[in-house]
Structure 1
Amino acid sequence: MFFQQARLIVLHAVPMLVAQLAAMGMMITDTVVLGHYGTEDLAAVAVGGGIYVAVLFALTGVLQAVSPTVSQIKGAGRDGEIAGALQQCFWLALCFAVPGVLILLHPDPLLSLSNIDAGVEMRARAYLAVLAWAIPAMLCYRTFYAFCNALGQTRPLVLISLGSTLLHAPLSWFLVNRGLGVTGAGIASALISWCTVICGFFYMRTGKALAPYRLLHDWQPPRPASMYELVRLGLPMGMSNFVEISSFTLTSLFVAQLGATAVAGHRVVANLAAICYMPPLALAIATLTQVGFAAGARDWPRARISAVAGLVLACAVACLLGGALWLGENAIVSAYSNDPAVRSVALSLIIYIVGYQIFDAVQTIAAFALRGYKIAFVPMLVHLLCFWGVGLFGGWWLAFRGLAPIAPMGVEGFWLASLLGLALASLLFGALLWHRIRRDL
């Protein structure tokens, strides 16, 4: 059964990885285009993009409650309840869009956390002001995205992601080089966001695979009880997402105090780290689906085997990624920037993401497997301890205060603390998953 579950996870994860890498192509495009356009614009997209991603992932984290909910409904054979669960999550998406837009239009509390260069801050504000209008579209699309993952329907996600990236690349290049800089990149991203959500609703209306669920028929009004259940499960998931992503966002804000070169080099490595996160994330999403199906059917041995298969696959992929980064670091960094100072900073940081690949893979799979069991609150506490406590606070201390006899380490302090935080997270999440599995032995 192990190989059968591993095969199911891989078959689900591969198209998900293609979709995620295609979506990542937009961030890569912006980083590369702005890296050759100007260091301040690259630094601005590091700061502004970090804030945007943190806000978006915090809100979509709550909406991801639709994934374990739908997978367990499907596993239990209650297909008639699926449309209602999705529709309630769309109502939540529209509710959450309001604070999301307001935060991006008024980012002063977040920007005040660090003394950012005036030119970088001005550009980051302009970038966020444009991206604010992408929030409603992105929240609705991410709801559709999580729903399709819950059913293993990955084809529309691949097609939409590939099409979006192919459209975004020339549009972003054109707008940036027409003198709009980082604002042009924001306009391109906002336009593409609305295209994706339109495609998602079109597929829900016309796609044959989703037709039996009648997703857009008999539309339900907001139902407080159903929405409460989604929020109760989703809030810890959203908080976990926010903690994980915001630790990198706040790191960018703190690193900005070290100058545009430091934050630009940090952006390059953070971008590489995000790319390396995609394969374990794809495997984690597929693992959640398989664990959710099994849990819904009360097939606990299959749930256990699915979780173990996900861990084994992710660890193997992590080893390959770490080796590739180590061997190709010079060529990879050179592709991102033609500034020797930025390349020097980036090269000094790559060793840390090489080192934490295995820990990141374990904590990601274990956390998502726990979500498949609808366990989210204690994992949220682990994320708080490891990402904010060890990673962020520890990184700030190492970067600006040092730890005797170690002098202040600058930007490297944040990456060392991140490595230590991920190592601790992998141990704690592994223990939590093992405890849950043993309950059903």
Structure 2
Amino acid sequence: MLADVRKIAALAWPVLIGQLAIIAFGVIDTAMVGRYSAVDLAALGLGSSIYISVYIGLTGILTALQPIAGQLYGGRHYSQIGEEVRQSFWLALALMTIGFLILYFPEPILRVARVPAALHERTVAYLQILAFGLPAGLTFRIYSSLTNAVGQPRLVMILQVGALLMKFPLNRWFVFGGFGMPALGGPGCALASTTINWTLAVVGILLMTRLDVFRPFAIFSHFCWPVWRRQVAQLRLGIPMGLSYLIEVTSYTFMALFIARFGTTTLAGHQIAGNVGAVLYMTPLSIGIATSTLVAQALGAHRHEAARTLSRHGILMAVTIACCYGAIALALRPLIIEGYTPNPLVAAAAMPLVLIVVFYHVFDSLQVTTAFVLRAYKVAVVPTVIYAIALWGVGLGGGYLLGFDIGGAIPVWLTGARGFWVANMASLAIAGSGLLLYLQSVSRRYLQAGFDGQADKAV
């Protein structure tokens, strides 16, 4: 087990640092805008929830490149990796068009959310600026999926840390103004992120043309048109993956949309709790990505027993660390909230939600690590169904019943934002358990049947 933990840790720590650098974007945005105005902070929470839903759903489709390239890399089929990357760029072109239209014209979504008039203008401005950064974000996702697939996460980490170094001064300039720039508040965060996204995309493309690690793939050796067979293969895996990401993220997004009805103070408290949860989430996410890389490469090399053992050890590692994180967050809860806001009303709204996040995180770790391992097996449809039932049915449906006290019999401590967070915690426990049971079935089937070609098909 220790040997597997070391292998996973060697790939996970660069992913973790890179992911923490990116999640620090949200921490910086929340902290700076929280000191600009409570209205802008609430608009930021709402706008970022909508953007993340669109971004994660679309990039989730492109993430299909990672298990595909990982298995090809394990089997030493290098030229095919280059072809898959070229096809991913064509796929990204179609996806960025869809995403841009959704973000630039967000009125249908805002009407569903019944967004207060005070938040409407700031939220629209935030989303429209981010619409122009979406194409760059999708391009960089191809780069990061490829580098993770071939076991080179440091190449992503370096760029993400560099992006963080750019984020603080750009945010400070655009949010509060100066040197001829007016104070933009929340939309200033979007402008800073868009600038950084384009920088990452350009640098990522340049690295794929120049670094030795990418040379065997001959990615840009020649031009090619979309190949229907490969596009279908990527979509067949990518669409369920994208849907599972979308279900996971929209369960949180719609929480924010519903919680917005309780007022800006409650929504701001929810934003703080969500940001704490997102920071904690980065460690199991990194372990999941690292484990998925190793499992995919083992499957490509026909080492099915090793893949199964790596899966088990990666999941156990993530859950164990999550328990430790939860204990630390519980002890430091008042200090953590104080670091986000000086507003006592917002802090009071955030306090019980962060308590729930402590326990929520353990189940979140279980489900995300298990889901990534299943994607390494190129299994996507059944996990998506599990996500839909658990996160939308139990999480959102149950949260609506509790939060708005449907029926009038819900205890006071389970109503409002707390009701939504408790229901979401229960949904993650159900999703994690279901995914783990299904993984055991899939890995057992691989061991029994061997690699006979059928294992390449998404279940």
TM over 0.5: yes
Structure-2 separation of matches of 1:351 and 1:437: 36
Matched, 1:389 2:393: yes
Asked if structure 2 preserves the Cα contact closer than 8 Å seen for 1:288 and 1:372, the reply is yes
Q: Deviations over 1:225-276 (max 9, x none)?
A: 1111100110000000000001111111111111110111100010111111
2:429 corresponds to which of 419, 423, 426: 423
The structural deviation recorded for 1:80 is 1.4
Structure-1 separation of matches of 2:46 and 2:411: 28
State the match for 2:287 in structure 1.
Answer: 283
Matched, 1:436 2:442: yes
State the match for 2:309 in structure 1.
Answer: 305
Q: Show the 5 A alignment for 1:18-417.
A: 18-178=17-177, 179-402=183-406, 404-407=409-412, 409-417=415-423
**What amino acid is the match of 1:406?**
P
Asked if structure 2 preserves the Cα contact closer than 8 Å seen for 1:360 and 1:426, the reply is yes
Structure-1 separation of matches of 2:224 and 2:149: 21
Asked if structure 2 preserves the Cα contact closer than 8 Å seen for 1:391 and 1:414, the reply is yes
C-alpha RMSD of matched pairs (Å):
1.1
**What amino acid is the match of 2:72?**
I
**What amino acid is the match of 2:100?**
V
Q: Deviations over 1:113-144 (max 9, x none)?
A: 22222111210001001000011000111111
Structure-2 separation of matches of 1:386 and 1:291: 26
State the match for 1:3 in structure 2.
Answer: 2
Structure 2: which 5+ runs fail to align?
Answer: 178-182, 449-459
What SS does structure 2 have at the residue aligned with 1:430?
Answer: helix
**What amino acid is the match of 2:411?**
I
**What amino acid is the match of 1:371?**
R
Runs of 4+ in 1 over 6 A off after TM superposition: none
Structure-2 separation of matches of 1:402 and 1:13: 43
Structure-2 separation of matches of 1:112 and 1:48: 13
What SS does structure 2 have at the residue aligned with 1:52?
Answer: helix
Asked if structure 2 preserves the Cα contact closer than 8 Å seen for 1:24 and 1:275, the reply is yes
Structure-1 separation of matches of 2:295 and 2:113: 42
What SS does structure 2 have at the residue aligned with 1:77?
Answer: coil
Structure-2 separation of matches of 1:139 and 1:248: 21
The structural deviation recorded for 1:437 is 2.2
Asked if structure 2 preserves the Cα contact closer than 8 Å seen for 1:239 and 1:380, the reply is yes
The structural deviation recorded for 1:111 is 1.1
Asked if structure 2 preserves the Cα contact closer than 8 Å seen for 1:113 and 1:254, the reply is no
Q: Deviations over 1:69-117 (max 9, x none)?
A: 0011111121111111011011101110001000001112211122222
Asked if structure 1 preserves the Cα contact closer than 8 Å seen for 2:129 and 2:190, the reply is yes
Paired positions, count? 440
**What amino acid is the match of 1:208?**
D
State the match for 2:14 in structure 1.
Answer: 15
Structure-2 separation of matches of 1:405 and 1:200: 51
Relative to the length of structure 1, the TM-score reads 0.98
Structure-2 separation of matches of 1:217 and 1:336: 49
Relative to the length of structure 2, the TM-score reads 0.94
Q: Deviations over 1:329-357 (max 9, x none)?
A: 11111111111111111111111111122
The structural deviation recorded for 1:401 is 2.2
Structure-2 separation of matches of 1:211 and 1:80: 10
The structural deviation recorded for 1:4 is 2.4
**What amino acid is the match of 2:61?**
V
Asked if structure 1 preserves the Cα contact closer than 8 Å seen for 2:333 and 2:355, the reply is no
**What amino acid is the match of 1:320?**
C
The structural deviation recorded for 1:402 is 4.5
Structure 1: which 5+ runs fail to align?
Answer: none
**What amino acid is the match of 1:111?**
L
**What amino acid is the match of 1:197?**
A
Structure-2 separation of matches of 1:22 and 1:405: 40
Asked if structure 1 preserves the Cα contact closer than 8 Å seen for 2:167 and 2:192, the reply is yes
Structure-2 separation of matches of 1:3 and 1:297: 22
More deviation, 110-119/120-129: 110-119
Q: Deviations over 1:382-431 (max 9, x none)?
A: 11011111111111111002563524600111100011101111110111
Asked if structure 1 preserves the Cα contact closer than 8 Å seen for 2:33 and 2:40, the reply is yes
**What amino acid is the match of 1:20?**
Q
Q: Deviations over 1:166-207 (max 9, x none)?
A: 101111111101221111111111111100101101111121
Structure-2 separation of matches of 1:291 and 1:78: 17
Indicate the percent of aligned positions where both proteins have the same amino acid: 35
What SS does structure 2 have at the residue aligned with 1:311?
Answer: helix
Asked if structure 2 preserves the Cα contact closer than 8 Å seen for 1:402 and 1:409, the reply is no
CA separation of 1:309 and 1:172: change in aligned 2, threshold 3 A? same
CA separation of 1:405 and 1:184: change in aligned 2, threshold 3 A? closer
The structural deviation recorded for 1:294 is 1.3
Structure-2 separation of matches of 1:402 and 1:411: 14
